[in-house]
Every structure is written in structure tokens, then in C-alpha cells.
Structure 1
Amino acid sequence: MHAVKESIKFARDIIVAIYSLVLIVGFKCKKKVKACILVTNGMGYGGAPLVLLEAAKVYQKNGYKVILYTEFYGDLIKVCRDQKIEVWIVPRGWKMLSKLVLSCKFQFAFVNTAVMYKWVELFEKNNFPTIWWLHEGDSYIDPIAAEMPTHVAASTMVLAVSDRTTMALAKNGIQYKTRMLYYGLDDLAENEEPIAQMNGKNIYTFLVMGAICSRKNQLFAIQAYNLLPKKIRAASKLMLVGTPLDEKDPYYIEFLRVVKQYPEIDYIPRVERSEIPALYRQINALICCSIDDPLPVVVTECFMFGKNVIISSGSGQYYMVKDEYDGYSYLESDVNALCKKMISAWSARDDKAMGEHARNLYTSKFTTRVFEERLMAYTNELIVNWKGVYVDEAN
């Protein structure tokens, strides 16, 4: 069976590579256009690919022919094509196609995530002005830090998605001149009226959403929920949404065992992207108990919907939240502190103010308008100053 799967994958890779070759040659043969290439390692519905799509839409809106280059398949490829964004899929290891890509004429390159550092090095060798947008924290940067460049060329501008990313770099002795670029998300709640978290009679729902893994720390939320007073547990439930990164992961196996013990805990393995706004409307508070999560999209989306957000110090938005004003914050290793914040959120269930403040946090930092302004300012600076004027001060 394994041999059959490998044969199917190999055949698929050949077909996809040939199709991408046709697209690349077609691009090279066409009349020169104002174009940019965005490089990513995957196109699933994870946070980094999702916000890269928003960057692609910004560049498209500002007159660029956008090429999205990926080494792996994913559901977002269809979304990109629906947006008229051309996708080149070049399976890892197909060096001939990679060299052909480097011979194409682009205004600039945009590399998404730290794990694609080799593409930054390739673009630097080929004298491409490049933006490198980093999304990772300790758990992803630590294993590859020794292989990442300690400095970048003058042609590369490094942007970070949160303070957790810059701290992870510094911890590993990587000294880039790094600027901040928060992602922007379409406003899914623009026309909704602010409402109290609940009317005092319904079940209060705490949501934990994300891939089931030790980094997202879902078992910690279950521990805190079990510490709640009986009165609150009787009037609330804990909803957990997410698929495992690996079904054989001992963490996931333990997670399933624990969840089955509690009828007031709902586990939903998967929610379609189109159904997520409806999910947010059903819940009252989000718990983000991650150990290492630079800027989780689910937190920003719950700010957008004016929900109570309880966030750990392991998450990037922790540094933005004013505790008990626009959200709740706690030290990620303190289960009693998380429990207390859950009690505070439940006790303030009829209060509109915190939801309004959370919504304001979204509109001031994470709208597509704010994102577009910052992204285009950085991009224009890179292009205008590129002839040796822009210098990485860390060099």
C-alpha cells in the first residue's frame, strides 16, 4: 500500500511540475509586466498561508501581477485561483524549475515564514530585493536557527508578525533589523451590532480552537475548566475545535481519552472555513492557552467579533491586551490564573464594554486597511531605496 501511495504521489508531482513549467515559460514569454513572487512552503488553512493570501490580494489591488510559489498542495490553492492569483506548484527537490523561477523578472520577492530561509539566500545571490515575513516562535525557530542566516543582505527587509518572533530570533543569536507587520483580516463582523456576551440565562460557551497538539496546550484549558466552581460549570460548557497534527501523537491520544470523561466538553474535529463566523456567534469567550503561538488568527478573529478573549503569555497578542479592559491575560504555566480569568469572564457576561474594546483592538491593528498601508509602505521603501541605500543595520 505504501508503494502504491508513493507511486501516485510521484505521478502527481510529475503532472503538477509539467503544468507549472508551462506557466513559468508562459510568464517568461509574455510582455514584461509589473510582477512579484510570493514564496511559501504550504497552502493549507493554517495562519501563515491565510495571511499570505491577504498580502497577495493587497499587491494585486495595487497593480501587481502576483505569482504564488509553493512546494506543497493545499486547499488555499483553489481560493487563490478564484482570486485570479496564479499559483506555481513546484514539488520540493525539482531544482531545474527552481532555477527557472529565479531567471524570471520580478519587481521583488516576498518570502513567507522562517522555514523558507533557503529561498531568501537564493534571492540574495540573484540580487532580488526581498521581503522576508517571519511568523514563527521558539518551537519552530529553535530547531532551524543554526541553519538560518545570522545576517541578511542589504537587499532583504525582515518583517516579524509579533514580539514573540523577534524574541525567538534574539534568543538564538540572530540579529536582524526587524520591523513589525501584523497581518490584516477581512472584517467578517462589520455590520453586526455590539451585544452583551449573553443574557444571563443561556449556557456560557468557552471555545478553544486550533490544531490538537502540545504547543496549543488544549489539556491545560480542560484542567482549568475542571477547577471552576460548580455553579459556573453547571451554566457553561467547553468547546474544543481542531484536528490533530498527527493522529498517532501521544498528546492527541491522551486528549481524546480525557475529553470522553466529561459530557459538558464538546469536541468538534473540524469546522469548514465558511462556517467559522457562525461558530464565533455561538460562543461567548475564547481561550488561547498556547505555549508558543506568535499571533494566532483565531484570537484576532474573536477580537473582530467582540468576544471575550482569555490569552496566555505564550501568544503574541498577550502583549497588546490590557487585562480586564479589552481581554484577559495570564501567565501560560499558571492553571489557577487561567481559571480565575474564566470566572471573571463568566461574571461579566452581561457587560458590552469589553467586547467593544476588543473590537476596537481589531480595528486599530488588524484591519485590511491598516495592513495594506503598512505592507505597501514597506514594499515601496524596499523598491525605491534598493540600489544599495537600504542597509541592514545589524550587519
Structure 2
Amino acid sequence: MKKKQKILLVSHEMTYTGAPRSLLNIAKILKKSGTEVDVWTLKKGDFQREFEKEQISVSILSKTIGEDRLRQYQLIILNTFFTAHLAERFQKITRTVLYIREGRNIPALARDCGLHMEHIQNANEVVCISEYAEAFIRENCMPHKLSVLHNFVKDDYEGQLNLVSDGRIHFLLSGTYEERKGFDIAIAAFLCMPEELKKVTRLHIAGQMPEWSRGFWERLRAIYDERIIEHGMIADEEKRLALYRKMNVFVIPSRDEACSLVALEGAMLGKALIMSEHVGAQYLDKRKKYIYPTEDVEALCRKMCEATSRRELLIRGMEMRRAYKQAATEKVYKKEFLKMMKGILR
């Protein structure tokens, strides 16, 4: 009887953010394929309950982990740059993949968080999540081997067309309130819209407000008008999707975003997307019609104004839904992920 494969996934934290969500997706795929999965984390958090719902236990990574414990795994996947320091040691014991979910922000993270870019360079096997991220990592980190594997999100589409249901066009910003996410650019663009469009538009903001970026989000709140609606962090997946389904346009104005699960979710739900040039998920918009120069408030405002056409919303929503089915479904990801794992474990 063939021995069951055992794979270890290592997360840097357990928060309701993109990287742990993506790791959970990998865990589900591996489990469905008959692989035994263990999950370790550098820091515990509330998101652990999402793994536990799938009967996947989460353990805190011990600083004194022995080689024998690592040898029981045929493969270890280290999730994000924050776990890169483990690669050199782990890959001496068993096959190890460093799954980088960052992009141009890697040098800033190294500087601000005491990380080292050399850990990426010294990893035997590195995977990133977009061609946008790949170009930067290849030039600046020079890893031995670098592959691209696009993210996916679960298909929760209910057949709803991107229609304006209450006489208003609803724009969405979703993610952590921090400067890198560019919420300030989107809010400024939204506030610059012509008066006739201000009457029929609303901007919804959902996401975590960390203490370390308090100065940033307090400045943003000071310029809100009555059309801007805050929802805070929505931990419940069903409630978050319920809000997303009410939206018409997902805006991803990041100064740097290696992919953007929010963009993938918007496409999955058949919504219009507007993205900056520094968002890795721009592969969804092959015509680049709704890609604008990063940090250009006027250009973003024009794109947002264009997205108030009901006909345009309907067409763009259908285009994004097709793009999702071609590039970001679980089926597409699973095929490429298992193919890559097979090559690594050969």
C-alpha cells in the first residue's frame, strides 16, 4: 500500500488577511487530494478557527524544533517572506518551498521588520503569485529557482448580474488600512467626482484598522463625507460575501500588491474591477481598460466615473466573471499546484 504523503504548511500569523486565507486554500486542496496536512504558525490568532472548521489543527512553531520532526514531511511550504528565515535550515532536512506573497514591498519589510532579502536568494525553491511580483523578485532577490502560481478564490457566484438595484453605484475598498493599500488615493478620487455623480455613488470600506497605522486611517477619516460608509473588519465569511454581492465596483488602488484576493473575489462575483498598475492581479484585465497609473488620483477618478454607466457595469462584470473562470478558479489552481508539487517531489 502506497504511503500517504505528509506536507507541512507554515504560516507567519493567523489573522483574517490574504496570506492565511491563501494558505487555508492550499490546505483544503491537499486534504482533498488525500495528503496529510499539518499547519504550524509563528504567531497564533483568531483565523485558526477557519482551519479547525476543516479539521486541520494549528500548532505554534517551536523554536527548538528537532530534525526528526521535520523529516516526517515529504514537503514543507513556508508562507510569505516572514517565514523565509526558516528556508535554509529546513531545506537541508527535507524539500522546502518558500511561497512569497509579497512584491515591491520586500525591501521595506526587510528594513522595517528586521527581515533579510538574502533568505529569498538562498532558498532552493521560490514561488510567487504574479508576473508583476516575479519581475521584481527576480531582479532584486535573484533566487535559485522562481516560479509563478496565480492565486485562486472559491467560486461563490450565485448568478447575479452586475446591476444597479437601488439607484446608486456602490464602490468597494477592502483590506488593511495602511498606506501601501492606497485607500487615500481612492478616497481622494471618489471625493473629486462631479456633483451629478456624487448623488448616485457610495464608497464602502471594509477591513482591519491596525494600531500601527492609526495615524494613516485617522487622517483618512477626517476627510470622509456622508457618502463613505465604514464596515470595519468582517471576520464572518458569509457576511463579508453578502456585502461584496451588494457592490458594483471593486477598487484596488494599492501602491504595491503582489496579487489581491479582493480583486479575484470581485471577478468571481462578476463585478467591475479598477486596479492600479502595481496590482499583480491585473492579468484579469487583458485589455487593461481599467488599469490606471499608480497614485494618479485624476486617472482613478476618470475610471470611477466611467464605471457609473449601467451598461458598462454589466459588460465589465461579465468580462471579469469570464476572466475569473479562465485564471482564478480552484480547478485551474489545483491543476497547476499539484503539477508543480509533483515536479518538486520527483
User: Same fold by TM (over 0.5)?
Assistant: yes
Cα distance change on mapping 1:193 and 1:81 into 2, 3 Å:
closer
**1:292-328 alpha-carbon deviations (Å, 9 max, x no partner):** 1111111100000110111111211124413476xx1
How far has the Cα of 1:247 moved from its partner? 5.7
Instruction: Give 1:230-309 correspondences, 5 Å limit.
Output: 230-246=195-211, 249-259=214-224, 262-271=225-234, 272-309=236-273
1: distance between equivalents of 2:16 and 2:104?
A: 21
**1:188-226 alpha-carbon deviations (Å, 9 max, x no partner):** 11xx22424315x61111111111110111111111112
1:229 matches 2:194 = yes
Between 1:103-112 and 1:347-356, the stretch displaced more is 347-356
SS at structure 1 position matched to 2:163: coil
Cα distance change on mapping 1:376 and 1:202 into 2, 3 Å:
same
1:134 matches 2:129 = no
2: distance between equivalents of 1:296 and 1:359?
A: 16
Match of 2:339 in 1: 377
How far has the Cα of 1:363 moved from its partner? 0.9
Match of 1:338 in 2: 300
The answer on whether the counterparts of 1:239 and 1:265 sit within 8 Å (CA) in structure 2 is yes
List runs of 5+ in structure 1 lacking aligned partners: 1-31, 385-395
- Please tell me the root mean square deviation across aligned C-alpha atoms, in Å: 2.0
Cα distance change on mapping 1:131 and 1:173 into 2, 3 Å:
closer
How far has the Cα of 1:38 moved from its partner? 0.8
1:107 matches 2:74 = yes
How far has the Cα of 1:240 moved from its partner? 1.4
1: distance between equivalents of 2:202 and 2:145?
A: 45
AA matched with 2:101: H
AA matched with 2:81: A
SS at structure 2 position matched to 1:207: strand
How far has the Cα of 1:249 moved from its partner? 2.9
How far has the Cα of 1:347 moved from its partner? 2.0
Q: Which runs of 4+ in 1 moved over 6 A?
A: none
SS at structure 2 position matched to 1:55: helix
AA matched with 1:354: R
1: distance between equivalents of 2:118 and 2:342?
A: 30
Match of 1:86 in 2: 57
The answer on whether the counterparts of 1:150 and 1:174 sit within 8 Å (CA) in structure 2 is yes
1: distance between equivalents of 2:86 and 2:285?
A: 35
AA matched with 1:119: L
1: distance between equivalents of 2:70 and 2:299?
A: 55
Match of 2:89 in 1: 122
The answer on whether the counterparts of 1:198 and 1:349 sit within 8 Å (CA) in structure 2 is no
The answer on whether the counterparts of 2:39 and 2:59 sit within 8 Å (CA) in structure 1 is yes
1: distance between equivalents of 2:264 and 2:244?
A: 12
1:185 matches 2:150 = no
AA matched with 2:92: K
AA matched with 1:355: G
Cα distance change on mapping 1:100 and 1:111 into 2, 3 Å:
same
**1:7-52 alpha-carbon deviations (Å, 9 max, x no partner):** xxxxxxxxxxxxxxxxxxxxxxxxx753111111111111111011
2: distance between equivalents of 1:186 and 1:170?
A: 29
Q: Figure out how many residues of one structure are paired with residues of the other and give that number.
A: 338
Match of 1:19 in 2: none
**1:106-126 alpha-carbon deviations (Å, 9 max, x no partner):** 121111112211221111222
Match of 1:24 in 2: none
Cα distance change on mapping 1:311 and 1:85 into 2, 3 Å:
same
Cα distance change on mapping 1:351 and 1:41 into 2, 3 Å:
closer
Cα distance change on mapping 1:330 and 1:268 into 2, 3 Å:
same
2: distance between equivalents of 1:345 and 1:220?
A: 17
Identity fraction in percent: 25
How far has the Cα of 1:167 moved from its partner? 2.7
The answer on whether the counterparts of 2:185 and 2:296 sit within 8 Å (CA) in structure 1 is no
How far has the Cα of 1:184 moved from its partner? 2.0
2: distance between equivalents of 1:76 and 1:282?
A: 25
1:46 matches 2:6 = no
Between 1:169-178 and 1:264-273, the stretch displaced more is 169-178
Cα distance change on mapping 1:352 and 1:248 into 2, 3 Å:
closer
**1:118-171 alpha-carbon deviations (Å, 9 max, x no partner):** 221111222x11222111012234424544242433xxx321111232233234
